[in-house]
Amino acid sequence: MEYLHTVQYYETDKMGITHHSNYIRWMEEARVDFLSQIGWDYARLEDMGIISPVLNVTCDYKKTTTFSDKISIAVSIKEFKGVKLFLSYEMKNEAGDIVCLGSSSHAFLNTEGKPIRMKQEFPELFETLSKLAE
């Protein structure tokens, strides 16, 4: 699934290129959109008592981006282990060049911060994520 982000002026630095920290924000935007596209948006998860903190983030910068560039971000599930979800991100510019490769891992916890037994407690969500991880 893809998400499209347009680089904003405020996301660039004095050199006119996108500041590296923004790619992490774009990954979050794309992740939120991805969950919404598969029918499990954050509001729904939170209504169900599920929180999903970030455990790890990586970014491998390949090419710079600048103001007004359109960046497509493909999100896919690398691995799903019930309690942990591992996502990968491939960001490309309009020419199709990869500008950044990223990954993130997330836990599924209840509102008390305890791990959720996803398969038992939320089998529909477990099945959706498992199928997308295949």
Q: Per-residue DSSP letters for the chain? A: -EEEEEPPGGGB-TTSBB-THHHHHHHHHHHHHHHHHTT--HHHHHHTTEE--EEEEEEEE-S--BTT-EEEEEEEEEEE-SSEEEEEEEEE-TTS-EEEEEEEEEE-EETTSPBP-HHHH-HHHHHHHHHHH-
Whole-prediction pTM:
0.94
pLDDT digits (tens, 9 = 90+) for 44-67: 999 999 999 999 999 999 999 999
Model confidence pLDDT, tens digit, residues 66-79: 999 999 999 999 99
- For each of the domains in the chain, give its residue range(s) and CATH number, in order of start: 2-133 (3.10.129.10)
Mean pLDDT of the chain: 96
Q: State how far the alpha carbon of 92 is from the alpha carbons of 2, 3, 48, 113, in Å.
A: 10, 11, 34, 35
Q: What is the mean pLDDT of residues 17-41?
A: 97
How far is residue 118 CA from its own chain's centroid? 19
pLDDT digits (tens, 9 = 90+) for 81-103: 898 999 999 999 999 999 999 99
Q: Is the pLDDT of residue 1 over 90?
A: no
Q: Residue 12: what pLDDT?
A: 97
Tokens standing for 92?
A: 């490309």
Rounded-to-integer distance, Cα 10 and Cα 108, Å: 33
Residue-level pLDDT at 48: 96
